[in-house]
Every structure is written in structure tokens, then in C-alpha cells.
Amino acid sequence: MPLRKIITYPDTVLRERAEPVTNIDGKVQQLIDDMADTMYHAPGIGLASNQVGEPCRVIIFDISPKNEPHDLVVLINPEIVEADGAVVSEEGCLSVLDYSAEIKRTACVTVKGLDREGNTITLRKEGLPAIVLQHEIDHLNGTLFIDHISKLKRELYKRRLKKILKKKESSVQRL
């Protein structure tokens, strides 16, 4: 299974709203497999399709502890149908280099969607999986976790990122 390149901020691809999947065909199955390999390889605990440049509504996550068997959850066309409470926790993102921040989210969510066989599933989650679900569904809507921090913090991060990217560029050997 090929690993996909994870697109990083500030690439505008991450800002596009992903379109619903209308047909769960072989291409979608391949995308899910590639996303899983890419997420485990990164490593990360969640990934949305548009992070690998496929603007269709597919998210995956796996919050099983390290050294335990994988417990991959796949959701196609996920939708939050119920949300209660509030919680603040530290978040990072495979598409946002070298940054994490405290983000306020809904504590408990009910999400409806399809599994990879096309069956309707409903997940009611709190704690980490609830946060991951909101983070990944945000991705499908073109929203990043840094959109939830203050403008000042975001500007500071943007400035720092520019320096990081410049440094990376200058360390590349040109052959």
C-alpha cells in the first residue's frame, strides 16, 4: 500500500471543503487503506482524506494504546448529530508542523456516518475519541485546530513556521 504525502499548512488544499462520497468503490477502499498506512507510519491517531489531497469525506482514527492491536475506525460522510458539554485539551495535527495548543471542544458527540462497507453507523463518544472526531470532521470542512486559537497566537505561530520552513529549505542538499 503506498503511503500518501501528508499536506501541511499553509497549503490551501487543507482549506477546501471535502465533497460527500456517493459511491464506496475500489478507489475509496484503496484511499482508506492508504490513509491507514499513512496515519500509522506518521505516526498519528487520526487523519482526514483532504490531508492526503483527496477532497472526499472520509476520516479514520485509532486511539488504541501503543503496543496493542490496531483498532481502526473508518467513517465516511461523518456528521455530528448531537453535542454536549465542553472540554479543553492539548491538540496537535499531522498537517500543522511543530505546534500544539489548548483547544476548547464539545465534550461528548454523537456522529453518524457510513463504515467502509456502506453500513450506517452511529458513534457516541466522549474524551479523546470525541475530540479526534471533531478535529477530523473540521478537516473535512477546511478547518484546522489553529483556527480555534486566538488571532495573536496564530500570527505568532505563522511567523515561527516561516522560520522553520526557511531553515528546512536551506538544509536541503541540491544535487
With CB atoms as reference, the residue minimizing the distance to Ni ion is 93
Question: What's the closest the beta carbon of residue 153 comes to Ni ion, in angstroms?
Answer: 17
Give the x-and-dash track for 79-118 against Ni ion (CB under 5 A). Answer: --------------x-------------------------
Least gap, CB of 132 to Ni ion (angstroms): 9
User: Is residue 132 within the footprint of Ni ion (CB under 5 A)?
Assistant: no
d(CA 134, CA 84): 12
136 included as an active-site residue = yes
Q: How far is the CB of 95 from Ni ion (least distance, A)?
A: 5
Number of residues that bind Ni ion (CB under 5 A): 1
Between 8 and 110, CB nearer to Ni ion: 8
Q: Which member of 91, 136, 155, 169 is catalytic? A: 136
What is the x/- site pattern for Ni ion, positions 134-163, by CB under 5 A?
------------------------------
Give dist(CA 140, CA 29) in Å, integer.
18
* Interface with Ni ion in residues 13-72 (CB under 5 A): none
Q: Which is nearer to Ni ion, 93 or 111 (by Cβ)?
A: 93
Q: How far apart are CA 2 and CA 77, in angstroms?
A: 23
What residues are annotated to the active site? 136
> Which positions lie near Ni ion, rule CB under 5 A?
93
